[in-house]
Structure 1
């Protein structure tokens, strides 16, 4: 599958018939909201965990030297916390472009961190079948890759450091993110 997924997302997941959609952010969408939204609140999804296994050719790296960003991998019993944003369907024009580098939209149940209940929401994830997928590596190798990567959105390291801080601000612990952050800080100092 091509890493440019804009048309594929529009084809697979038309949203125009909906008044609003809840979007779940688990990476940069937690701390970088460059899109309009109606409401936001902390949420989580079950059965998924974050991993720095996706290449970034367009934001945190270049086509010649992609950075590493997050995707979700299935993991029974896992809980992934993030932010949910209620958006109008036209917001996906911007979001599909922002998340075009191998990410597909899927619907998943969202659970609220601060209240009971759930709703259906959309999440972007990049599977192993997309051209930008980098796959697993050791924490040290992932951190070293991130430390040397830079793209139009800035240093790849900013992505990790801002996300780690955003998770701390939410009182959430993510072993993978914090392990990469620790390795990265050691490399940068």
Structure 2
């Protein structure tokens, strides 16, 4: 799908990138917090990867995707980092010399429509705390789904596909990668059980 086919931006992502670069400063290595597809498809070179946990935020499959994992006609789902609770994921250390290029590539991937709120979060790791950039989602965003019923999740898993594949494949890949890292996500595990039941749903 071409860039022209993307939905109109919710806001201009360029000032958000400029602000993030200024907050980082460029003098130290760049840390990034991954909680979804960044864990299994980072698309950048990194010098170090660690298990990490953030407090006050949690991973949730509650963000509409109308390009990557769905379409305008059949929206799919991707993960957002919502306020409340806690989240286990991984942090990546990017050498300072590669930080600007990495941020530029990340913005093309994660921020073409300016949907996320980039934030610097305190991450607890086995090697000590780090300050890492994370892509969070506001509940005020039009891409926030709100509460979805089990039936709606099953419907989306059965039908939604975008330029990178289906919502179900995305959720399953994330679930399997979390397991590989020894991370148990009870909410995602429940959704995977729902997906497994969709083929025997009597409706």
TMscore range, shorter length: 0.7 to 0.9
User: Is the counterpart of residue 46 in structure 1 residue 19 in structure 2?
Assistant: no
Other structure's SS at 1:144 match: helix
Q: Residues of 2 paired with 1:86 and 1:188: CA distance?
A: 41
Q: Residues of 2 paired with 1:89 and 1:111: CA distance?
A: 24
In structure 2, relative to structure 1, the CA distance for the partners of 1:155 and 1:2 (3 Å cut) is: same
- Once the two structures are TM-superposed, the CA of residue 58 in structure 1 deviates from its matched residue by 2.2
Q: CA RMSD in A?
A: 2.1
Structure showing the higher helix proportion among its residues: 2
In structure 2, relative to structure 1, the CA distance for the partners of 1:49 and 1:5 (3 Å cut) is: farther
Q: Residues of 2 paired with 1:38 and 1:116: CA distance?
A: 14
Aligned length: 185
In structure 2, relative to structure 1, the CA distance for the partners of 1:5 and 1:63 (3 Å cut) is: farther
Residue in 2 that maps onto 1:159? 170
- Once the two structures are TM-superposed, the CA of residue 142 in structure 1 deviates from its matched residue by 2.2
Asked if the contact 1:146/1:156 (under 8 Å) is kept, the reply is: yes
Q: Residues of 2 paired with 1:8 and 1:68: CA distance?
A: 26
Asked if the contact 1:9/1:96 (under 8 Å) is kept, the reply is: no
Structure showing the higher strand proportion among its residues: 1
Q: Mapping of 1:116-127 within 5 angstroms? A: 116-127=127-138
| 1:24-55 C-alpha deviation (Å, 9 max, x unpaired) | 01011111121222221211111111111111
| 1:2-43 C-alpha deviation (Å, 9 max, x unpaired) | 446532421432247324211001011111121222221211
In structure 2, relative to structure 1, the CA distance for the partners of 1:4 and 1:179 (3 Å cut) is: farther
Q: Residues of 2 paired with 1:128 and 1:154: CA distance?
A: 25
Q: Residues of 2 paired with 1:161 and 1:188: CA distance?
A: 16
TM-score after normalising by structure 1: 0.88
Asked if the contact 1:42/1:81 (under 8 Å) is kept, the reply is: yes
Alignment match of 1:143 (pick from 154, 157, 175) = 154
Which structure 2 residue ranges, 5 or more long, are not aligned?
1-7
Q: Mapping of 1:7-86 within 5 angstroms? A: 7-15=14-22, 17-18=25-26, 19-75=28-84, 78-86=85-93
Which structure 1 residue ranges, 5 or more long, are not aligned?
none
Larger radius of gyration: 2
| 1:59-113 C-alpha deviation (Å, 9 max, x unpaired) | 11123322111112222xx32111111122320111111112511210010111x
